[in-house]
Structure 1
């Protein structure tokens, strides 16, 4: 269960840690690795997660689910496990079978301990230290599976209280896992029921990454009601990209009891920026969130509207998933080339009205670098129908008559070749609200 709270009012702290500060680890032949804020498989090929969560610990008999989500195009499955503290323990033999089933279906396995959920607020939740005990008890099962398995230390390890030790506790947990011989890529969940409204993970991710002697840690944000606007989504994910820190959306939905997440932006922004995601969840939800089932009663022939959206919709799994090359295939490039190639240098921009009401509207402009990296950009357009802009985010806007100029802020000016960022604004209109042409200049 996720709890909706408004974002903390503290000033935003940009993650301006240079990638080189973390070093550039070689792509380890033994398994997954991280470099430059991206995840690479054991062949050194960039891997972007496109998959779903599966509640294995509560439905251990539903082993056909792995084949079913693979048949629908997924390349990853995040598997719910229990240490035995809150639910029945998934034994070493059971976890070995899960890994074997993932591999048989050519799926990357993200294994997570669910018993940590909401620690500090949820009765019975366990500490990250206790989760590490469980992982170390599985060391013999995990050994040799680094090419196929990512270890997610603990699901949503803190609620909305007593989360101040998030960074220290995760750094200690990672150190213990490494000392215990685990060389896998490690995934770390955010506090605040995974949604990090306090920005604790965002502002401390660099120090946790640096605490991993292998520099092989990925951060996971869960996006539910806290992330109900495009601005919140693009700002949060964009800061990790700008800092060269690897981020995935480890859970998200199209609706939730704490609010209405903007799933379209999650999917579109992730696809444009090479960010992995794992939707919640395949089937078996209860407690009032049954609408988050993607398949009715685990039946792949009975997809819900959420399942259709995730698997078959725009920027969904069928359009964007690429199988990991460790399974022997040669997939096409992770990010399909645009139909119209960007210019050799510079940048392009596109303007979209994302919402409109009488007298007002919300707009978004997407800026894409050309064939070479850029260090800054500005976009400009001229309104033809008397529109005006009253506020903006992720860019600095100035107006001169009907002409509007938007310039990057400190954390989203640097774009790799072909990479994109976006900014949004609120405007007013009378009569009509025609879409202007936008020019882009790079620096």
Structure 2
């Protein structure tokens, strides 16, 4: 699966740039404003698990079992042939069919790239692309159901300096070959990016995707053993309007003890997807990462209980993809936030406004984003008390470091200046994290 890392070095300061506006909307999943959306415009937040299909192909009930426990996504381990027996086109088609049958979004990943440069026999990203091209016929037309994760943990702690250029080249090769799927890319350093290589180059990699439809995946194990490290890493992507998911994590690991409670809480409050490692079948001393014993859904381990049934876990936060008819919040909270939008000044081609959002829940909100869409082509030019990101009409305002907490019954107000031409119609809807607010 992966191997232990050196202890993380001190965090380095970095600033990520806003992404370039996306090209024409693809036929399946798309990225906008740092969020993942289905083809109909519904936001989709991954809540699921990893399943080691390539080593346990006989475990045909695994997807149905994870779905029954509430997952909306499964990340499926495939092999490209360099380290493990290749999963051919027919097998990939069967996996996709099983995902659809069980109303799961499929994230398909090549595992042979794990730890390249440090792991003997590991595949390159270029070889992973060769694999995707070889099974393309099983994926064409499945863009609403499938996300292509080019390669798992594509570098160890050696040679990772070429991650950005190699990843951009891989994305561009897939696009040139006709892949219009959302593409997911893993971080180097055994997925944990303790050198911040992915973090500091994510904006350029995103801009290099002709479709602007790339999602970044961080794996959180021992490197992420404090709340500060987790919140800083995820927060930088959110502030920059770049899409991030926690593609693997666990409650413990040989390289340290990850702070899984913060991972759950922060991904919930920030609307960030997560995929826990892993359903069952772990070996090599990390058997404790099995969510169920012996692939039996009736035998949940303590880790399985935590991720499926715990606070901010899958059962509490997962929404089925709307392509399968889902999209209903398992914990509906009507009226749990209210929003007020007010223009405080206007002049030729410019204006000033403020948004006040009230938390009507009985619990505080730790970390927030306020989202809206401008109806008249307005653009934010400056913002205070929040960090803005705008893609076309969509605006995402992320909390500043000093106002991340909205107390129960409390509120937050952000102000901004903007430009307009031809009209300055007020937005009609506001979303606080994943909750649609009613008018104040």
Partner residue in 2 for 1:268: 265
Partner residue in 2 for 1:3: 4
Q: Secondary structure, in 3 states, of the residue corresponding to 1:112?
A: strand
Q: Secondary structure, in 3 states, of the residue corresponding to 2:215?
A: strand
Q: Deviations over 1:83-107 (max 9, x none)?
A: 1111111111111100000000000
Counterpart-to-counterpart distance in 1, 2:235 and 2:74: 24
Counterpart-to-counterpart distance in 2, 1:140 and 1:102: 17
**Structure 1 residues 286-435: aligned runs within 5 Å:** 286-327=283-324, 329-332=325-328, 337=333, 340-342=336-338, 344=340, 345-346=355-356, 366=366, 368=368, 375-377=383-385
Identify the match of residue 23 of structure 1 among 21, 24, 31. 21
How high is the TM-score relative to the length of structure 1? 0.80
Gaps of 5+ in 2: 341-354, 373-379, 416-440
Counterpart-to-counterpart distance in 2, 1:12 and 1:93: 46
Counterpart-to-counterpart distance in 1, 2:283 and 2:11: 35
Partner residue in 1 for 2:29: 32
Q: Does 1:41 align with 2:35?
A: no
Q: Secondary structure, in 3 states, of the residue corresponding to 1:133?
A: helix
Is the CA contact 1:111–1:151 (under 8 Å) kept in the aligned structure 2?
yes
User: Shift of residue 63 of structure 1?
Assistant: 1.1
Q: Secondary structure, in 3 states, of the residue corresponding to 2:248?
A: strand
Cα gap change, 1:282 to 1:118, in 2 (>3 Å): same
User: Shift of residue 220 of structure 1?
Assistant: 0.3
**Structure 1 residues 99-110: aligned runs within 5 Å:** 99-110=96-107
Cα gap change, 1:121 to 1:102, in 2 (>3 Å): same
Partner residue in 2 for 1:216: 213
Is the CA contact 2:96–2:106 (under 8 Å) kept in the aligned structure 1?
yes
Counterpart-to-counterpart distance in 1, 2:368 and 2:302: 31
Gaps of 5+ in 1: 351-363, 378-407, 426-434
Counterpart-to-counterpart distance in 1, 2:411 and 2:47: 33
Q: Secondary structure, in 3 states, of the residue corresponding to 1:146?
A: coil
Q: Does 1:179 align with 2:176?
A: yes
Counterpart-to-counterpart distance in 2, 1:420 and 1:75: 28
Is the CA contact 2:245–2:272 (under 8 Å) kept in the aligned structure 1?
yes
Partner residue in 2 for 1:429: none
Partner residue in 2 for 1:13: 14
Counterpart-to-counterpart distance in 2, 1:314 and 1:23: 36
Q: Secondary structure, in 3 states, of the residue corresponding to 2:161?
A: coil
Counterpart-to-counterpart distance in 2, 1:90 and 1:56: 9
How many residues align structurally? 383
User: Shift of residue 375 of structure 1?
Assistant: 3.3
Counterpart-to-counterpart distance in 2, 1:212 and 1:24: 9
Identify the match of residue 122 of structure 1 among 119, 130, 140. 119
Cα gap change, 1:91 to 1:441, in 2 (>3 Å): closer
Is the CA contact 2:18–2:203 (under 8 Å) kept in the aligned structure 1?
no
Cα gap change, 1:442 to 1:61, in 2 (>3 Å): same
User: Shift of residue 332 of structure 1?
Assistant: 2.1
Counterpart-to-counterpart distance in 2, 1:338 and 1:160: 47
Counterpart-to-counterpart distance in 2, 1:175 and 1:237: 25
For the aligned residue pairs, the C-alpha RMSD in angstroms reads: 3.0
Q: Secondary structure, in 3 states, of the residue corresponding to 2:80?
A: coil
Cα gap change, 1:178 to 1:134, in 2 (>3 Å): same
Cα gap change, 1:237 to 1:284, in 2 (>3 Å): same
Counterpart-to-counterpart distance in 1, 2:196 and 2:369: 28
